[in-house]
Protein backbone atom coordinates (compact mmCIF):
# COMPACT_ATOMS: atom_id res chain seq x y z
CA UNK A 1 0.00 0.00 0.00
CA UNK A 2 2.74 2.45 0.96
CA UNK A 3 4.75 1.52 -2.16
CA UNK A 4 1.80 2.24 -4.46
CA UNK A 5 1.25 5.60 -2.77
CA UNK A 6 4.93 6.48 -3.21
CA UNK A 7 4.74 5.56 -6.91
CA UNK A 8 1.63 7.71 -7.33
CA UNK A 9 3.28 10.66 -5.59
CA UNK A 10 6.47 10.26 -7.65
CA UNK A 11 4.39 10.13 -10.80
CA UNK A 12 2.59 13.34 -9.91
CA UNK A 13 5.84 15.10 -9.10
CA UNK A 14 7.34 13.96 -12.42
CA UNK A 15 4.24 15.08 -14.37
CA UNK A 16 3.49 11.51 -15.50
CA UNK A 17 1.05 11.39 -18.37
CA UNK A 18 1.27 7.78 -19.57
CA UNK A 19 -2.52 7.52 -19.62
CA UNK A 20 -2.64 10.38 -22.17
CA UNK A 21 -0.61 8.46 -24.77
CA UNK A 22 -2.80 6.59 -27.21
CA UNK A 23 -3.20 5.70 -30.88
CA UNK A 24 -5.16 8.95 -31.15
CA UNK A 25 -2.37 11.15 -29.80
CA UNK A 26 1.07 10.51 -28.37
CA UNK A 27 1.90 6.92 -29.30
CA UNK A 28 5.10 6.30 -31.25
CA UNK A 29 4.62 5.42 -34.92
CA UNK A 30 6.36 4.83 -38.24
CA UNK A 31 3.25 5.19 -40.43
CA UNK A 32 -0.32 6.45 -40.18
CA UNK A 33 -1.79 2.92 -40.16
CA UNK A 34 -0.34 2.56 -36.64
CA UNK A 35 -2.53 5.47 -35.45
CA UNK A 36 -6.21 6.31 -35.25
CA UNK A 37 -5.71 9.11 -37.81
CA UNK A 38 -2.18 10.16 -38.72
CA UNK A 39 1.48 9.82 -37.84
CA UNK A 40 3.95 12.68 -37.62
CA UNK A 41 6.87 10.70 -39.01
CA UNK A 42 9.98 9.98 -36.94
CA UNK A 43 12.73 12.55 -37.27
CA UNK A 44 14.27 15.48 -35.47
CA UNK A 45 10.87 17.14 -34.87
CA UNK A 46 9.16 13.95 -33.64
CA UNK A 47 11.63 11.46 -32.12
CA UNK A 48 10.16 7.99 -32.66
CA UNK A 49 7.18 9.47 -34.53
CA UNK A 50 3.92 10.54 -32.91
CA UNK A 51 0.29 9.66 -33.51
CA UNK A 52 -1.93 12.73 -33.66
CA UNK A 53 -5.17 14.06 -35.08
CA UNK A 54 -5.64 16.85 -37.60
CA UNK A 55 -7.10 20.16 -36.44
CA UNK A 56 -8.19 23.57 -37.63
CA UNK A 57 -8.15 25.06 -34.12
CA UNK A 58 -7.48 23.98 -30.55
CA UNK A 59 -11.18 23.23 -30.05
CA UNK A 60 -10.64 20.19 -32.30
CA UNK A 61 -7.98 18.81 -29.92
CA UNK A 62 -8.36 16.70 -26.77
CA UNK A 63 -7.62 18.21 -23.35
CA UNK A 64 -3.97 18.89 -22.66
CA UNK A 65 -3.21 19.52 -26.34
CA UNK A 66 -3.24 22.49 -28.70
CA UNK A 67 -3.63 22.80 -32.46
CA UNK A 68 -0.29 23.80 -34.01
CA UNK A 69 -0.59 25.78 -37.24
CA UNK A 70 2.53 24.47 -39.04
CA UNK A 71 1.48 20.83 -38.70
CA UNK A 72 -2.30 21.29 -38.53
CA UNK A 73 -2.04 18.74 -35.73
CA UNK A 74 -2.75 18.46 -32.01
CA UNK A 75 0.40 18.41 -29.84
CA UNK A 76 0.76 18.12 -26.06
CA UNK A 77 0.98 21.44 -24.21
CA UNK A 78 3.85 21.92 -21.79
CA UNK A 79 5.34 24.43 -19.38
CA UNK A 80 8.91 23.15 -19.57
CA UNK A 81 11.02 20.27 -20.86
CA UNK A 82 10.11 18.06 -17.88
CA UNK A 83 6.48 18.06 -19.06
CA UNK A 84 7.54 16.23 -22.26
CA UNK A 85 9.58 13.43 -20.66
CA UNK A 86 6.60 11.06 -20.74
CA UNK A 87 7.04 10.93 -24.56
CA UNK A 88 10.60 9.58 -24.25
CA UNK A 89 14.11 10.74 -25.07
CA UNK A 90 14.60 13.72 -27.34
CA UNK A 91 11.33 15.54 -26.55
CA UNK A 92 11.43 19.13 -25.25
CA UNK A 93 9.02 22.01 -24.77
CA UNK A 94 9.06 24.50 -27.68
CA UNK A 95 7.06 27.56 -28.67
CA UNK A 96 4.92 27.15 -31.80
CA UNK A 97 2.16 29.08 -33.54
CA UNK A 98 -1.16 27.72 -32.23
CA UNK A 99 -4.57 27.97 -33.86
CA UNK A 100 -6.18 30.36 -32.80
CA UNK A 101 -4.20 30.76 -29.59
CA UNK A 102 -1.16 32.58 -30.94
CA UNK A 103 2.13 31.22 -29.62
CA UNK A 104 1.79 28.08 -27.47
CA UNK A 105 4.28 25.79 -25.75
CA UNK A 106 4.11 22.21 -27.04
CA UNK A 107 6.23 19.04 -26.95
CA UNK A 108 8.51 18.59 -29.98
CA UNK A 109 11.92 17.20 -30.79
CA UNK A 110 15.05 18.85 -29.41
Side-chain half-sphere exposure of 74, counting CA atoms within 13 A: 24
Judged against a pLDDT cut of 80, whether residue 105 lies above it is answered with yes
What domain range is 84 assigned to?
2-109
pLDDT, mean of residues 18-44: 90
Instruction: Give pLDDT, residue 12.
Output: 35
pTM metric for this prediction = 0.80
Split into its structural domains, the chain has a count of: 1
Q: How many CB atoms lie within 10 A of CB 29?
A: 21
Amino acid sequence: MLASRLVAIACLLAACRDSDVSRAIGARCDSSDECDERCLLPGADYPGGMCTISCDNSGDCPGGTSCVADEGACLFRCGGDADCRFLGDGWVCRERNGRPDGMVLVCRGA
